[in-house]
């Protein structure tokens, strides 16, 4: 029996069919491989975000200051400060890439110079600063070539735009940021060179001549210190109660009161700054030798710090069943169904809502005038634990308002001749808003920006995973009710 072989045509057909099958199998493996790689990338991102959230929770659990302003330095409590930048999840007012000011509803139409639509980008200019204590494991920091420990530290959490190898802000879409955490140990007495030389009053200070810039100082020391005259002085918690002693608050080392209220210098609206403010971050642009040591997370597209307002309006978007609050995309003031939520400072939602009886919005306005930290729609707003020493420090902090002289709230006189001596602000509605609703300002020279207790905060961290192009968000909440 003769066997018939394959013809050339049949061979070619079989070969083609085999190649097509192999191509299909290869394509399937490629799809599965990409999916596995993307899944692995997302899992790794989730792990990094959980680690950062754990670190932030640990810092917030150890907050040393009561969140009921003002605080007295003699109580040795440190401070707590929230800086709310003008951006939020609903509106972007500043574009860090183009440095253009704009007013932009991300769910509407972009407008203004330099505006760019970016629907996934969230609030990126908030800053969180406070003192914290770790009772389990001491904080570790650099001291020249050695290490130092302290159970108390001053920490700062903030974002800066992602930069390319040349140091310029990256222009990728979406715009991404880097999350930083600066840790400065609090120890009022160091007892080691250059802070100790055994010469009496000079035994606990470092000379500016040795460290002419903050970058050079922080490259050698992870130490919370204030600049005063020609020296750096280590801070105690009592020192840090005062704004002029804190990280990035008194760049000129002003000690005569003229720098009041000592606002925070960057990053805020200075996101685009190159180089960053001296000492703000370990950055090549400032010549730092410790680049990236303070980086905790990359590819961040949102770091949103919100405060709890018991009268904050909660609405429902008519196009969905999702609850929204001021600052959220799709929030509609006319659809308020409840009260009590986390909001941005100075969200401006003071009218058009139904508030519970006897309760007024706590954080909708831009700040008390006497704090001299009043924000606006396009400038930062600040919640600060404040300090009582401004009322007895011998300086006239309310001079711009042409008031009654120096420390009139503690001089034992009836300066405003209303029959009361050294009276605090008269809170007619018992809502803590004081001058924001036209009530009597009292005789005190200053006021916390928000003279109200802070019951809790919420921090939303949002990240972009570039390979899978997925977005992940993690929320950390901390209550301060005692």
Cα distance between residue 399 and residue 13, in whole Å: 94
Count of Cβ atoms closer than 10 Å to residue 443 Cβ: 25
d(CA 34, CA 37): 5
pLDDT per position as a tens digit, 234-279: 999 999 999 999 999 998 888 888 899 999 987 644 455 556 788 8
Residue 109 pLDDT: 40
Alpha carbons within 13 A on the beta-carbon side of 83: 24
Tell me: pLDDT of 7 over 60.
yes
Count, residues in the chain: 482
Considering 186-195, 334-343, 394-403, 471-480, the range whose residues carry the highest mean pLDDT is 471-480
Q: Of 148-162, 322-336, 462-476, which gets the smallest average pLDDT?
A: 322-336
For 209, other C-beta atoms within 10 Å of its C-beta total 8
Q: Are the C-beta atoms of 280 and 129 separated by less than 8 Å? A: no
Contacts of 197 (CB under 8 A, 6+ apart): 203
- Sole residue written with tokens 């670190």: 55
Model pTM? 0.85
Can you give the pLDDT at residue 114?
41
pLDDT number for residue 373: 92
First to last CA, the chain: 99
Distance of alpha carbon 416 from alpha carbon 404, whole angstroms: 8
Q: What is the mean pLDDT of the chain?
A: 80
Strand partners, 475: 460
What is the three-state SS of 242-270? CHHHCCCCCCCCCCCCCCCCCCCCCCHHH
**What confidence category does residue 112 fall into, taking pLDDT thresholds of 50, 70 and 90?**
very low
Q: Taking residues 417-440, what's their average pLDDT?
A: 56
Q: Which residue did the predictor score with more confidence, 140 or 354?
A: 140
Is residue 482 very low, low, confident or very high in pLDDT (cuts 50, 70, 90)? low
The answer to whether the beta carbons of residues 216 and 179 sit under 8 Å apart is: no
Percent residues over pLDDT 70 in the chain: 76
Cα distances from 470 to residues 46, 255, 464, in angstroms, run 11, 49, 6
* Mean pLDDT, range 339-346, rounded to an integer: 90
Kindly report, residue by residue over 137-149, the tens digit of the pLDDT: 999 999 999 999 9
More confident of the two residues 132 and 422: 132
Is 25 in a helix, a strand, or coil?
A: helix
Q: Residue 100: pLDDT band by 50, 70, 90 thresholds?
A: very low
Q: Please give the average per-residue pLDDT across 472-481, as a whole number.
A: 92
Establish whether the linkage from the previous residue to 267 is cis, with ω within 30° of 0: yes
Predicted confidence band at 103 (pLDDT cuts at 50, 70, 90)? very low
Query: By percentage, how much of the chain surpasses pLDDT 90?
Result: 34
In this prediction, residue 182 carries a pLDDT of 95
User: Quick one: 263 exposed, middle or buried, by C-beta within 10 A (0-12, 13-18, 19+)?
Assistant: middle
């Amino acid at each position: 029996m003769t066997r018939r072989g394959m013809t050339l045509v049949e061979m070619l057909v079989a070969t083609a069919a085999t190649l097509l099958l192999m191509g299909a199998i290869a394509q399937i493996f490629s799809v599965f491989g990409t999916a596995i790689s993307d899944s692995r990338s997302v899992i790794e991102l989730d792990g990094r975000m959980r680690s950062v959230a754990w670190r932030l929770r640990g810092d917030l659990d150890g907050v040393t200051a009561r969140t009921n302003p003002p605080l007295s330095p003699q109580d040795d409590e440190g401070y707590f400060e929230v800086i709310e930048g003008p951006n939020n999840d609903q509106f972007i007012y500043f574009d860090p890439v183009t440095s253009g000011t704009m007013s932009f509803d991300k769910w509407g139409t972009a407008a203004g110079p330099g505006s760019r639509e970016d629907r996934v980008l969230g609030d990126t200019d908030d800053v969180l600063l406070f003192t914290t204590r770790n009772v389990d494991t001491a904080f570790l920091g650099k001291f020249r070539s050695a290490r130092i420990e302290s159970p108390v530290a001053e920490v700062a959490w903030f974002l800066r735009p992602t930069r390319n190898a040349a140091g310029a802000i990256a222009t990728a879409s979406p715009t991404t940021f880097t999350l930083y955490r600066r840790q400065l140990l609090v120890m009022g007495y160091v007892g080691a060179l250059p802070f100790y030389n055994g010469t009496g009053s000079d035994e606990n200070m470092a000379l500016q001549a040795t460290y002419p810039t903050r970058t050079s100082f922080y490259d050698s020391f992870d130490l919370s210190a204030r600049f005063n005259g020609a020296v750096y002085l280590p801070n105690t918690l009592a020192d840090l109660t005062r704004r002029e002693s804190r990280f990035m608050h008194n760049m000129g080392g002003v000690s005569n009161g003229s720098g009041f209220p000592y606002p925070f210098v960057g990053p805020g609206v200075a996101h685009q700054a190159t180089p960053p403010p001296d000492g703000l971050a370990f950055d090549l642009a400032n010549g730092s030798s410790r680049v990236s040591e303070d980086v905790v997370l990359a590819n961040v597209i949102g770091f949103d710090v919100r405060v709890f307002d018991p009268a904050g309006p909660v609405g429902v978007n008519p196009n969905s069943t999702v609850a929204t609050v001021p600052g959220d995309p799709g929030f509609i003031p006319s659809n308020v169904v409840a009260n009590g939520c986390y909001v941005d400072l100075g969200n401006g939602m003071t009218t058009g809502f139904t508030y519970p009886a006897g309760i007024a919005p706590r954080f909708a306005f831009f700040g008390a005038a006497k704090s001299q930290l009043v924000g606006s729609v396009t400038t930062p707003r600040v919640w600060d634990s404040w300090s009582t020493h401004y009322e007895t420090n011998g300086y006239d902090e309310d001079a711009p308002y042409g008031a009654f002289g120096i420390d009139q709230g503690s001089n034992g006189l009836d300066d405003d001749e209303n029959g009361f001596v050294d009276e605090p602000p008269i809170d007619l509605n018992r809502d803590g808003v004081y001058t924001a609703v036209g009530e009597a300002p009292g005789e005190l020279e200053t006021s916390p920006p928000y003279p109200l207790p802070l019951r809790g905060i919420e921090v939303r961290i949002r990240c972009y995973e570039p390979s899978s192009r997925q977005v992940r968000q993690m929320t950390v909440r901390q209550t301060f009710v005692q």
